[in-house]
Amino acid sequence: MADILQELPDADLRSLTADLRSGRLVTPYSSLSLGQRLGGDRARPIAQRLEELDGLGMQPEHIALVMEAIVNARASRPLLDDQVELVWTGPETTHALNRDTAVVIRELFGQATESVVVAGFAVYQGREVFRTLAERMSDCPTLQVRLYLNVQRGFKDTSLESEIIRRFARKFVDQDWPFESRLPEVFYDPRSLETDLAKRSSLHAKCVIVDRRISLVTSANFTQAAQERNIEAGVVIRSQRFAARLADHFGALADTGELVRMGLPRLAG
């Protein structure tokens, strides 16, 4: 209803609100009277909008309330700096202190209550990397965890796709997943196993999505080197809309078969 009004800065909205309530700004609303307050280019569309609201039966006080609500809604929104956070691995400088990648990932895993989506290109020494997530899965039996991982055909490896997947799954369970926890769902991109190099691809995305509310998008793989020693940069985004869209995109690829669920062997014992 107030789209054009939402384009006005807070100072202009407050000024118009005061004028409407004091009677200094009255109907008919003209671009001439508003031009003295807003400038010529903005006056005409704002005057037209105020006339539309007047035609709907809104009194000056009602229009003032709309403007006041816009200003208050802006004030209640979290600042962008509070929604976006730099995450870093590697040497620090005196100019900036950034959150550590490994610490942030542990915190994200530890606060999950409903779902976790992980996409990673490389996993090495995963038992340490995924320990907090595995513990969280044990604590929360209903926690749904999906891992989208890159499975690559080695150089000159002519094995069947099924054999490469079997070896990867066995290694994941034996070496990369904390044995005391139930297993997550693991998906892969079958194009990465193409024998034709021209058709081969990689699942190169590296991100974590927790409860469809918070996302980490990073250059860091799920290896100790990437999370503790390399120079890596990432960003935590606290946006439910962004997190849901990112999670849904991976989910849609799985639903359509673009990403395939991997059969995992049973845990030992």
pLDDT digits (tens, 9 = 90+) for 214-264: 999 999 888 877 777 889 999 999 999 999 999 999 999 999 999 999 999
Share above pLDDT 90 across residues of the chain, in percent, rounded to a whole number: 63
Residue 211, Cβ neighbours under 10 Å: how many? 18
Place of tokens 């513990």: 135
- Pick the more confident residue, 95 or 20: 20
With bands split at pLDDT 50, 70 and 90, how would you rate the model's confidence at 12? confident
Place of tokens 């799954």: 169
pLDDT greater than 70 at residue 102: yes
Mean pLDDT of 208-214: 97
Handedness of CA 16, 19, 23, 25 (dihedral sign): negative
Please give the single-letter amino acid code of residue 55: G
With bands split at pLDDT 50, 70 and 90, how would you rate the model's confidence at 88? confident
Hey, what are 204's tokens?
């190169």
What's the pTM? 0.70
Specify the pLDDT at position 2.
42
Decide if 264 contacts 177 (C-beta within 8 A). Answer: no
- Crossing angle for the helix pair 31-38 and 10-22, to the nearest 10 degrees: 130
pLDDT tens by residue, 142-175: 999 999 999 999 888 999 999 999 999 999 999 9
pLDDT greater than 90 at residue 3: no
* Distance (Å, whole) CA 147 – CA 139: 19
Cα atoms in the Cβ-side hemisphere of radius 13 Å centred on 269 = 7
Place of tokens 């024998």: 195
Mean pLDDT of 61-77: 88
Mean pLDDT of 168-184: 90
Length of the chain, please?
269
DSSP letter for each residue of 203-219: ----EEEETTTEEEEES
The span from the first CA to the last CA of the chain, in angstroms, equals 63
242 CB contacts (<8 Å, ≥6 apart)?
A: 215
Decide if 230 contacts 89 (C-beta within 8 A). Answer: yes
Share above pLDDT 70 across residues of the chain, in percent, rounded to a whole number: 93
Nearest 5°: the CA angle 45, 17, 72 is: 100
* Distance (Å, whole) CA 85 – CA 101: 11
Q: Is 180 exposed, middle or buried (0-12, 13-18, 19+ CB in 10 A)?
A: exposed
* Distance (Å, whole) CA 128 – CA 171: 15
